[in-house]
Structure 1
Amino acid sequence: MTLPSLFVSHGSPMLAITDTPARRFLAGLPTLLPRPRAILVVSAHWETAEPMVNKVAKNQTIHDFFGFPRALYDLHYPAPGDEALAEHIATMLGQSGFATDLVTTRGLDHGAWVPLMLAWPEANIPTLQLSVQTSRGPDHAYQIGRALAPLRDEGVLIVGSGSFTHDLRRFRGQPVNAAESADVTAFSEWMNTAIVHNDTTALLNYRELAPYARDEHPTEEHLLPLFTALGASDGPPQRLHNSTEHSILRMDAYSFGSIQASLTI
């Protein structure tokens, strides 16, 4: 079973308890692809100098946010880990020139557990997390994906979890359904055109080419998971979802590799 790789936008932690189009999309995600043997999440909320993979028997739920309703802190996602798979991933990355450490004390941050809780609420699929290297940029993240691509043939779903736009400096308490800002639209549609046309060169240089790129991503950690998902598959890209929250957060999601082909396996 060969799976596509995915990029999803996880938005605010409130996504876990707020009815929005993005939440409904994530809840329906399992209908689009076969059940994975395991899931590897590349989350924007674990930044390290070099790649790290969590190697645990059972994942703890990290509530890495402050000032939110008590209901969010009461949520837990105790998905099992897969220690042998963690070692396999570290070996794969090492063989491609990426020195990778195994971490036995880290569970899943909200960039991982919020979307997975919506899609697979039973928390019974082995789940691992891989860190991002923000200072290394898009090409590094893309090459990480290239190194991980064989996992897709092993039934492992590679999920990049970030945000299609992420300029939180402009959040002023706008309602979740506030009208989208024009600059968010311009950036997102440029990115979508480059993605669906599989223009990897343009995407890797988005910071210089895309309109408002440095406004929508003052720092790159929330977009880098997209490049890992892109690198993990040569298959056709497809936009699975697009919506906006709080005027400034685009919640787009993409598959890389044919969803339909997967469904026929």
Structure 2
Amino acid sequence: MLPSYFFAHGAPSIVLELNVYTDLLKQFGATTPRPKAVIVFSAHWEEPQQTVSTVSRYDTIYDFSGFQDELYRMMYPAEGHLPLSEEIRSLFETHGIPCGVDGERGLDHGVWAVLKMIYPDADVPVIALSVNRHLSNEQQYRIGQVLGALRERDVLIIGSGGTVHNLRKLRWQAGDAVDEWAFSFDNWLQEKLEAWDTEALFQYRELAPYAQEAVPTNEHFIPLLLAMGSGDANKQAKLLHRSYQYGNLGLSCWQFG
């Protein structure tokens, strides 16, 4: 059974960078078993109900501005997997999770910037899934849990977001300096994830230090809960990497299961 994963996608320019974290992503694709398909929950696709992509071949969405020209020339023409999309829709329906489909939307940078480093040839089928910031944390976990059995069939489940993601607090010239509040929040999160303490995690806004600073809006945090939920059958969490850019922008990778 494949583990599920959470990958922080950082700034869109991460796909052009050479550092320890981007090396990890590139090595991940080269050293882990190649899946039959990859499901990606992206923080940058928000819908009022769970939505599943039914695209045959994706366009590339440039959902950012002010970055290097090279980024706007990048393409990630991955194919979809319509039978798996339909199976996912059916699973949600069976478990009482309202679900829609989208046959037009391309891949946003929360998907393609990560996958371009893992599978640069865009040769693994992709199913993009939306997030809904208005659901409870328990409901987010449950959505991931419903898909967990797909891991037994070599389907890779990824949540793409960020544990510490506050654009208003970024310090672009910070160099290697990291804000203590970002460390404090992530340290609390690591303790609860490794203990699989869902009771505390579902109440992170009330219990975690500096939660408001780290997670001012929850769309980037949701993919972590979705990926964790899909690893529920094993209940094992492993931190593969954690670093920061611009003073506090978290770059972390978690393995579940």
Scaled by the length of structure 1, what TM-score is found?
Answer: 0.94
Name the residue aligned to 1:143.
142
Could you tell me the percent identity over the aligned residues?
38
What is the SS of the residue equivalent to 1:58? coil
Pairwise CA distance, 1:171: 2.1
**Alignment of structure 1 residues 206-221 onto 2, 5 Å:** 206-221=204-219
Deviation at 1:154, TM superposition (A): 1.6
Query: Once the 2 structures are TM-superposed, how far is the Cα of residue 172 of structure 1 from its aligned partner?
Result: 4.0
Matched residue, 2:173: 174
Gaps of 5+ in 1: 258-265
1:246 aligns with 2:254: no
After TM superposition, list the pairs within 5 Å mapping 1:126-205 onto structure 2.
126-175=125-174, 177-205=175-203
TM superposition shift of 1:30: 2.2
Which ranges of 4 or more aligned residues in structure 1 deviate by more than 3 Å?
A: none
1:22 counterpart letter in structure 2 = Y
Q: Which residue of 1 aligns with 2:256?
A: 256
Q: For residues 27 and 173 of structure 2, what CA distance do their matches in structure 1 show?
A: 27
Greater displacement, 36-45 / 194-203 = 194-203
Structure 1 residue 13: deviation in Å?
Answer: 0.3
Unaligned 5+ segments in structure 2 are: none
Q: Take 2:194 and 2:237, find their aligned partners in 1: how far apart are those partners?
A: 5
Deviation at residue 155 of structure 1 after TM alignment: 1.2
- Determine the C-alpha separation between the residues in 2 that align with 1:253 and 1:226: 10
Name the residue aligned to 1:90: 89
1:253, distance to aligned residue in structure 2 (A): 0.7
Which amino acid counterpart does residue 115 of structure 1 have in structure 2? V
Given that residues 137 and 220 in structure 1 are in contact (C-alpha distance below 8 angstroms), is that contact kept between their aligned partners in structure 2? no
Count of residue correspondences: 255
Task: Mark the CA change 1:31 to 1:239 in structure 2 (over 3 Å): closer, same or farther.
Answer: farther
Equivalent position SS for 1:254: strand
Q: Say if 1:3 and 1:33, in contact at 8 Å, map to a contact too.
A: no
How far did 1:32 drift?
4.9
1:24 to partner: Cα distance: 1.3
Q: Is the 8 A contact 2:57 2:77 kept in 1?
A: yes
Equivalents in 2 of 1:133, 1:56: separation in Å? Answer: 20
Checking the alignment, whether the CA contact within 8 Å between 2:170 and 2:249 is kept in structure 1 is: no
Instruction: State the alpha-carbon separation in 1 of the partners of residues 198 and 240 from structure 2.
Output: 19
Q: For residue 105 of structure 1, what is the amino acid of its counterpart?
A: E
Q: Using the alignment, how far apart are the partners of 1:167 and 1:206 within structure 2?
A: 16
Instruction: Tell me how far apart the structure 2 counterparts of residues 203 and 164 of structure 1 sit (CA, whole Å).
Output: 12
Tell me by how many angstroms 1:69 deviates. 1.1
Report the AA paired with residue 42 of structure 2: S
Distance in 2, matches of 1:72 and 1:218, equals 27
CA drift of 1:173 comes to 2.3
What corresponds to 1:20 in structure 2?
A: 19
CA shift for structure 1 position 174: 2.5
Post-superposition CA distance 1:40-96 (Å, at most 9, x none): 000000011100011011111111001111100011111111111111101101111
Q: Which residue of 1 aligns with 2:5?
A: 6
After superposition, give the CA deviation of every residue in 1:85-132 in whole Å (9 maximum; x if it has no partner): 111101101111112111011121100001110011010000011000
Distance 2:188 2:173 in 1: 24
Cα RMSD (Å) = 1.1
